[in-house]
Structure 1
């Protein structure tokens, strides 16, 4: 029996899983932040702990792992890989590789080797790979580098919309009451001065109030519409640059804004733009933990063909219980 290790190292948690060649999960380990951009030593420790626990549960040693695939947040540029390659090499797996976590998210969300993924969690990102194996990332580096939204960015949009409505630069909005209740302020004026006087950061969880009031609030719907359009634009850019306009593939939707919020206010705008770029594209919410994508890539890098029963067993073991969009 051959065994494979898949690791999903994100900003909030690191999940490592060991699968046999049939797709059965025989060991898993969980730890903290695996993003080296948050802290190199923190990421090193988290990845080590998660991997050690997964191997322990599986009753295996490193030499028994045919291939280990690490999907890591922040693995975007050569500057990142210069930090990550020695870190992962220290783990001494005979065969291993590192990819960005967007790559494993895509692979977990489709049963094809080609496709496109858009991520909208704390930030946004887009990645695609065509049928020739050519790949491209679009975004992932924040507002200053062309991105819009994600949880952090949407929270800023909520906050500034409330301020603008208070000042009279925008129409009154239900976001005002929702934000005041969420943050515990009696008035926008008190909130305004408290944030300025104490240099407070706008909390990311404010993005949630968009979905709370969107059904009855134009300002909230407008922000969510722009989020959908921006994600669609990024996906269309990848589709065109990779010459996928005539192909049939999945667009995988990843991240809490796309999988936990009310999809009526975001996904149709993604779909409208993407379908114009490639009519053969099908939208799918992520159905398995991204770590499943790391396992699938590990199998493929080891030269194994992934059969349908493997997908089914991985889905049983690593399902996030999301449905087709």
Structure 2
């Protein structure tokens, strides 16, 4: 969470845990935001609860459906932090951060997958982004499951040979893939550790393993496919169109994955300006707020980006 002046100066930046209203509950999730707002306000000598800004832009994870946006907008507005509140999915922050413009497309592949696109006239396209049941394929947890699926099928003879089998067992320090499956089933390995298999996948793919390469290439197809379909639904005819790639899986910049994404765009004929997100997405949240308040014409964006450039963590300024 950041407090930023109208001139783009970062007054305070504080960081908390993830925003998970579905798991922790709405009250606890909003309470987590309130703690961050309070901490940032104290750093600049402003009391909270109460107004701390002219505009709050909250681009949040797990804010996908219209009813979720409405619920979260009401809940955040009720806190009284600002007279104007904008709430939407965090992928819009990735788009605004990486594109440098209020339009284009953004694909996030981190824990999950999501994509949004926005036209120059402000029309949006988005996906349900609820996982496989809503047509998604990819994301760290999903890829971890796929790696484990192919590894165990090699081990029990149902599938092709793959170096993922040995790599998975070795990564978790267990004798075989079956033992890894049992450990996840019994909770001895927490489910979030499935994400650790993503770099394992990329490493095996680099060695030429056919199964691993097919998974990475499939992910590249999915990333490009989401963006291309979203741009097509907008009837986007502006070229080149910025397409921002964000989330830990994509910002790791694995050559096989990025080459596959680029190849899909070339084959489509869409003149995409592919960009890897290099700044924290909070930059996009702030820029959207400046856009909304028409305060982006005095070098504010340049100062804001300079403040966050290369910053390893929250920055705090007083005054």
TM class by shorter-chain length? 0.7 to 0.9
User: Quick one: which of 289, 292, 298 aligns to 1:301?
Assistant: 292
Partner Cα distance (1:264, 1:255) in 2: 16
Whether 2:12 is the aligned partner of 1:21: answer: no
Q: Does the 8 A contact of 2:140 with 2:194 survive in 1?
A: no
Q: What are the superposed Cα offsets for residues 44-69 of structure 1, whole Å, 9 maximum, x if unpaired?
A: 12111111122222334554522111
Greater mean alpha carbon deviation, residues 251-260 or residues 133-142: 133-142
SS at 1:230's partner residue?
helix
Whether 2:312 is the aligned partner of 1:318: answer: no
Whether 2:68 is the aligned partner of 1:80: answer: yes
Partner Cα distance (2:45, 2:186) in 1: 55
The number of residues matched between the two structures is: 305
CA pair 192-50 structure 1, distance change in 2 beyond 3 A:
closer
CA pair 111-190 structure 1, distance change in 2 beyond 3 A:
closer
Higher RCO by CA contacts (8 Å cutoff, separation 6 or greater): 2
CA pair 97-280 structure 1, distance change in 2 beyond 3 A:
same
What TM-score do you get using the length of structure 1 for normalisation?
0.86
CA pair 191-95 structure 1, distance change in 2 beyond 3 A:
closer
Whether 2:57 is the aligned partner of 1:69: answer: yes
Q: What are the superposed Cα offsets for residues 164-196 of structure 1, whole Å, 9 maximum, x if unpaired?
A: 111233332221121101222112344455556
CA pair 252-192 structure 1, distance change in 2 beyond 3 A:
closer
Q: Does the 8 A contact of 2:114 with 2:129 survive in 1?
A: yes
Give 1:90's aligned residue.
Answer: 78
Give 1:103's aligned residue.
Answer: 92
User: Quick one: which of 189, 192, 195 aligns to 1:204?
Assistant: 195
Structure 1 residue 248: Cα displacement? 2.3
Q: Does the 8 A contact of 2:151 with 2:164 survive in 1?
A: yes
Give 1:225's aligned residue.
Answer: 217
**Equivalences for 1:226-305 in 2 at 5 Å?**
226-260=218-252, 262-277=253-268, 279-305=270-296
Structure 1 residue 206: Cα displacement? 1.8
Greater mean alpha carbon deviation, residues 107-116 or residues 187-196: 187-196
Partner Cα distance (2:297, 2:14) in 1: 24
Q: Does the 8 A contact of 1:213 with 1:220 survive in 2?
A: yes
SS at 1:75's partner residue?
coil
Q: What are the superposed Cα offsets for residues 11-36 of structure 1, whole Å, 9 maximum, x if unpaired?
A: xxxxx101112222111122222231
Give structure 1 stretches of 5+ with no counterpart.
1-15
User: Quick one: which of 9, 19, 42 aligns to 2:28?
Assistant: 42
Is the strand fraction higher in 1 or 2?
Answer: 1
Q: Does the 8 A contact of 2:202 with 2:254 survive in 1?
A: no
Partner Cα distance (1:213, 1:104) in 2: 32
CA pair 289-110 structure 1, distance change in 2 beyond 3 A:
same
Structure 1 residue 119: Cα displacement? 0.4
Partner Cα distance (1:258, 1:81) in 2: 26
Whether 2:100 is the aligned partner of 1:115: answer: no
SS at 1:295's partner residue?
helix
CA pair 269-314 structure 1, distance change in 2 beyond 3 A:
same
CA pair 317-188 structure 1, distance change in 2 beyond 3 A:
same
Computed over aligned residues only, the root mean square deviation of the Cα atoms, in angstroms, reads: 2.3
Whether 2:41 is the aligned partner of 1:55: answer: yes
SS at 2:279's partner residue?
coil
Q: Does the 8 A contact of 1:102 with 1:119 survive in 2?
A: yes
Structure 1 residue 121: Cα displacement? 0.3
Greater mean alpha carbon deviation, residues 161-170 or residues 43-52: 161-170
